[in-house]
Amino acid sequence: MGNILYFIFTIWKSKLSLLLLISLALFYKLTIYFSRDHSIKYYVSLDNVKTDLYLGNFYETFQNSLEPIEYLRNIRMGKMVSKNEQNIITSYKYSYFCSSKYILNNKSKKNQWNFNPPFYIISSYYDDRESEYFSNNSVIQIIASAYNSTYIHENKYFCHIFSSRSKRYLYSSPVMVRTLWNRAWDPRVSFYTSFLLTCPVITNSDIMYNLAGLYCPPKNISLNVIQNPKLKEDSDIKITACVKGLDFEQDISLKLLEWIEWQKQFGINHVTMYIYDVNERAQRVLDYFVGTGFLTLIPITLPGHQPNEPNTRRSFIKGNKQQKRRNELISYNDCFYRHSKDSDYVLIIDIDEIIVPLEHNTYQEMLLSIKDYKYTSFMVQNVFKFTSNVTTDNILPFSSHFYRSTISQGKEAYAKSFIRTKYASSVFTHFALHKQTNDSKKFYVPLQTAIKLHFKENCPEESMFECDRLIESSTKDDLLSSIAPNLRNKIKKIAISLNLIN
């Protein structure tokens, strides 16, 4: 689909091309209309919401198909896209849609999706950080997913607050909807998209909520539990690494073991990983570090009507890259809010990436050396280490890889960030997406200060026009092996204790 959109986008340069495109689309639409099964009366979305008579409104359907192409064309022509995709709320008032005697008893379960139509809610966190929104009032931050982001932004929503003890209705507060996606990355809306939903509360004690429209919510909409993030125990700089859902059928146990040890080596205080499914040997490694207190492991599933049988889900994730990327933002943002109070920074990172400080021993020392100016993201540039046709030590698959590209991908492409929890509202794969205050900004860590080593089997397709240059620029690199020469013995000892090696 992405290739088709790109092709259409590239040929759309004149009125003649546009006329041809519209004519082809009209012909295709009419072909479907006259060949359709007349027993089909309704088009039903993935969430079983009756949206319109099947093929009943040609103009609206065509406009919806054309809009993403027009969006891309406007960007290419340098035109600003003014459509607002977040309802910023600075002032507000509480509303009352239900009687004070109205009671709800159905409660959601922690770490499971709770459907408050049209949202699938995975978690909610109390947040009293300084902010420019809701008159700097304390809020609930809700991590959710929903299908068709256009539909979401056409409606208004409220958090309906209930007593967690009596389950009686208390009041309702408006929801600020922020999409955890930028349409410039992919303007299509027919996906499950991640959202940050924010609503103010009078107090965080003894309350629950459900999410609905400008009405008293029906009794079949479950109440959601609000979590209070853990607080810091000391004044030292604390950094938590956040890792998206692991889904590996193959044995990654020794890679996982070395990767976790490198996080400890460079100053990461805690790792929070989300997990779909891994093989038994990798699970042993994860359980070991959970036992030491260094790792938190959180099972996760896909929201809505996406598949969750392990093999089917694995194929679905592999074959749907754009949906995969949108889903990953759920775990990243849940991790961010889970550690918004006990960590000064969160590091969004994958298990094939290792950030190496070049002028300091730890990440803390590096970050302390940078003068603070409300930076939300401290971005570290990417350098590839291609692993195909490279022989490595099976105990040290990362450290024994002695070649890397000399070319970085620039300040933002493939970069990863240390994200300041004080100033960020939401996170994306590479940086803070929304901010608590508008005067905060990014900081680009110089290449001589730190680099991110990215271990990839082959050059990624997104960099295909650079691949020859990246591969040919390979140079000798012993960064990791020179930093911790005794790491092999430590990893070997753990691997033997877990029966991973003899």
Could you read off the pLDDT of 293-303 as tens digits, one per residue? 999 999 999 99
Residue 226 scores a pLDDT above 60: yes
How far apart are the C-alpha atoms of 363 and 200, rounded to whole Å? 35
Which residue did the predictor score with more confidence, 250 or 35? Answer: 250
CB atoms within 10 A of CB 100: 10
Per the CB < 8 A criterion, the answer to whether 134 and 180 are in contact is: no
CA torsion, ordered 286, 292, 294, 299, to nearest 10 deg: 40
Kindly list the structural domains of the chain, giving each domain's residue range(s) and its CATH number in brackets, ordered by start.
2-76 (no CATH), 83-228 (no CATH), 239-497 (3.90.550)
How far apart are the C-alpha atoms of 39 and 419, rounded to whole Å? 53
pLDDT given at position 188: 84
Instruction: Kindly indicate the confidence band of residue 95, based on its pLDDT and cuts at 50, 70 and 90.
Output: very high
Whose structure tokens read 């692993």? 387
pLDDT given at position 379: 97
Nearest residue to 292 via CA among 110, 488, 497, 501:
497
CB atoms within 10 A of CB 134: 19
pLDDT given at position 59: 56
Give the residue ranges of DSSP H helices in 339-416.
Answer: 363-368
Residue 76 scores a pLDDT above 60: no
Instruction: Kindly indicate the confidence band of residue 38, based on its pLDDT and cuts at 50, 70 and 90.
Output: very low
Query: What is the percent of the chain with per-residue pLDDT over 70, rounded to a whole number?
Result: 82
Lowest mean pLDDT across 27-41, 89-103, 352-366: 27-41
C-alpha dihedral sign at 388, 391, 393, 394: positive
pLDDT given at position 368: 96
pLDDT given at position 21: 62
CB atoms within 10 A of CB 442: 15
Residue 69 scores a pLDDT above 80: no
The mean pLDDT value of the chain amounts to 86
Instruction: Kindly indicate the confidence band of residue 41, based on its pLDDT and cuts at 50, 70 and 90.
Output: very low
CB within 8 A of 227, min separation 6: which ones? 110, 123, 124, 125, 126, 338
List beta partners, residue 115.
Answer: 120
Residue 261 scores a pLDDT above 80: yes
How far apart are the C-alpha atoms of 419 and 428, rounded to whole Å? 10
Q: Based on the number of CB atoms within 10 Å of its own CB, is 366 exposed (0-12), middle (13-18) or buried (19 or more)?
A: buried
Output the 3-class SS for 207-266: EEEEEECCCCCCCCCCEECCECCCCCCCCCCCEEEEEEEEEECCCCHHHHHHHHHHHHHC
pLDDT given at position 464: 78
CA torsion, ordered 103, 106, 112, 113, to nearest 10 deg: -70
- pLDDT, average across residues 342-371: 97
Lowest mean pLDDT across 301-310, 323-332, 482-491: 482-491
156, two tokens: 């208004």
Query: What is the percent of the chain with per-residue pLDDT over 90, rounded to a whole number?
Result: 61
Instruction: Kindly indicate the confidence band of residue 39, based on its pLDDT and cuts at 50, 70 and 90.
Output: very low
Per the CB < 8 A criterion, the answer to whether 244 and 343 are in contact is: no
- Supply the pTM of this predicted model: 0.84
Instruction: Read off the pLDDT of residues 204-221 as tens digits, 9 standing for 90 and up.
Output: 889 999 999 999 999 999
Crossing angle of the two packed helices 253-265 and 487-497, in degrees rounded to 10: 130
Residue 345 scores a pLDDT above 50: yes
- pLDDT, average across residues 8-18: 53
pLDDT given at position 392: 81
273-283 burial, b for 16+ CB within 10 Å, e for fewer? bbbbbbeebbb
Instruction: Kindly indicate the confidence band of residue 26, based on its pLDDT and cuts at 50, 70 and 90.
Output: low
pLDDT given at position 330: 98
Which residue did the predictor score with more confidence, 148 or 248? Answer: 248
Q: Based on the number of CB atoms within 10 Å of its own CB, is 50 exposed (0-12), middle (13-18) or buried (19 or more)?
A: exposed
Residue 10 scores a pLDDT above 90: no
322, two tokens: 């754009």
Which residue did the predictor score with more confidence, 475 or 66? Answer: 475
Taking the CA of residue 434 as centre, how many other CA atoms within 13 Å lie in the half-sphere pointing to its CB? Answer: 25
Q: Write the DSSP assignment of 421-466 as a string of letters.
A: TTTBS-B-SSSB-SBSSTT-EEEE--TTTEEEEEEESS--GGGTTT
List beta partners, residue 379.
Answer: 417, 444
Instruction: Read off the pLDDT of residues 53-63 as tens digits, 9 standing for 90 and up.
Output: 334 455 555 65
Instruction: Read off the pLDDT of residues 126-157 as tens digits, 9 standing for 90 and up.
Output: 999 999 899 889 999 999 999 988 888 889 99
Residue 354 scores a pLDDT above 90: yes
Instruction: Read off the pLDDT of residues 314-336 as tens digits, 9 standing for 90 and up.
Output: 999 999 999 999 999 999 999 99
